[in-house]
Structure 1
Amino acid sequence: MLFCPTCSSVLLIDKATSTKFACPRCPYIYYVDGQATLQLQNEPLPVNPVITGEQLQDGAKVKEECPNCNHDMAYCIMFQTRSSDEPMTRFFMCCDCKNRWKNDQ
């Protein structure tokens, strides 16, 4: 990554020629010998469960029908997953088959 010596902005590669970097804030241009390439490395982050079964079992036991086995009791916890003017999301885990689902009502 290159920075402008005049205003300290990040220099952007000229996509048309790929032989110079230009400052987006001032007229500074940095010429390169040959052709510059842009290389991005994206490493995926490990996926961790947001809510574990243990956390769900710490929640309240409520009367809610499981869509998997039709058992009528489930553990329930609530989180604000969207903007604050929208209702909380309820997460359920069946007491019988351990199936998990959510309700965004």
Structure 2
Amino acid sequence: MEFCDECGKMMKTDGDRWVCPNGHEKLRNEASEATMTTTQGQEQSSAVDMSDVDDAEIGPTTTVQCPNPDCDNDRARYEMKQIRSADESETRFFTCTECGQKWREDDH
């Protein structure tokens, strides 16, 4: 991927040149293009079969009450993600091990 030095837009190849949507051009450099990562050949993906995986192998669990009123389970798998700015605490995402209900908790 190449970006235009003049306007910053993404450029496309046109023969031996890079061309941006605004018409700016520059010559292609074979040496620098050899180090670029492409998505060519990565279009196909397949589903992962998790049917033979033990729940304990999927991720950590914790004791927490499921919010589903029809479920009285107190175990859930969890993961923590930083979805706000770095000076904010992480958000905890839970999935009930019994009914599959998903919910999240934020520190306020």
TM over 0.5: no
TM bracket, shorter-chain basis: 0.3 to 0.5
TM-score (norm 2): 0.43
Between structure 1 and structure 2, the one with the greater Rg is: 1
TM-score (norm 1): 0.45
